[in-house]
Amino acid sequence: MKQRLLGRTYIKVSEIGFGGWAIGGNAYGDSYGYTEDDASLAAIQRALALGCTFFDTADAYGYGHSEELLGRALRQRSDVVVATKVGSNFYGEHPVDDFSGSYIRSALEKSRQRLQRDVIDVYQLHNPPKDLLADPRTYEILQQLKAEGRIRAYGVSVFHYDEALAAIEAGQPDVIQLPYNLLNTAAEELFPVAQREGVGIIAREPLASGFLSGKYSVDAKFGPGDFRADLPRQYVQAMVSSAEAFRFLEAGGARTLVQAALRFVLEQEAVSTVITGIKTVAQAEEDLGASDVPPLTPEERRRVRELMGRRP
């Protein structure tokens, strides 16, 4: 497994990381469906054995359950980098967004306990609204926590590159996490700025919520607690059809579609690490194996860009 620097932080991470959303389970909805803890723990252990050193989660994933599982599996290991996120206060009767300094400080303590770590390596604001991202005061609590040694680096997890730009201009985050994949390349607008400012890019959703895995048909059904069950049927069909167009990247068996999709992301120098949602040992082996498969050829890259140009 190859390593990369996480922006200007001097923290080294595996170029493919473990995304912890799915292992939070479907008890509260808004996830990737049913999971089994034993399978999740086995997947984490297999990822470690394959050289994965970067694990990303959020306190909201399974309302702390993802963090708890990572805590059980990783404990106080000093050879891994753990990132988590904050901003959804799920401790009351109904979850509410809360990016106040007092809440962030208290939530960090709970995350540290669940993750069984004295210091959180990377602490990220979890999809805050753009007006907060553009306000320098938003980052004061993160700067304080970093100065106190409770976190090593901080950043934001966002949906759109313009939100990331607002954060860079206002708060100089160490890292930005945002979607980037064969079907969504808008983040490329951000990459030159991130490189110039020394901001590490954590690329998420490299498989476009699983549609680039190649395992779904146009009539795919999703189970309880899987957010994809609420997606419009027309959207699902469009995603599946678009993903199928990239089958040529399997190169006659040299890579799987999953691995090709990850290679596409890794070819961006601005990307420090790409996180992929892993629920099983088999997924850990396929996803992390992308670090060692052949890179895309110039002709494959040309065909990829040609297909992108045809998309509406």
Contact 239, 246 (CB under 8 A): no
Task: Supply 140's token pair.
Answer: 């004061």
Spatial distance between the Cα atoms of 214 and 209, rounded to a whole number of angstroms: 11
Q: What are phi and psi of 179, to 5 degrees?
A: -70, 145
Separation of CA 124 from chain center? 11
CA dist 22 and 24 (Å) reads 5
Contact 14, 206 (CB under 8 A): no
* Catalytic site residue from 10, 28, 34, 61: 61
Pick the closest to residue 214 from 186, 182, 190, 166 (CA basis).
182
- The CA-atom distances, in angstroms, between 264 and each of 88, 129, 181 are 32, 29, 8
Is there a catalytic annotation at residue 61? yes
At 204, list the tokens: 């998420």
Are 178 and 206 contacting, i.e. CB atoms less than 8 angstroms apart? no
Which residues does the annotation mark as catalytic? Answer: 61
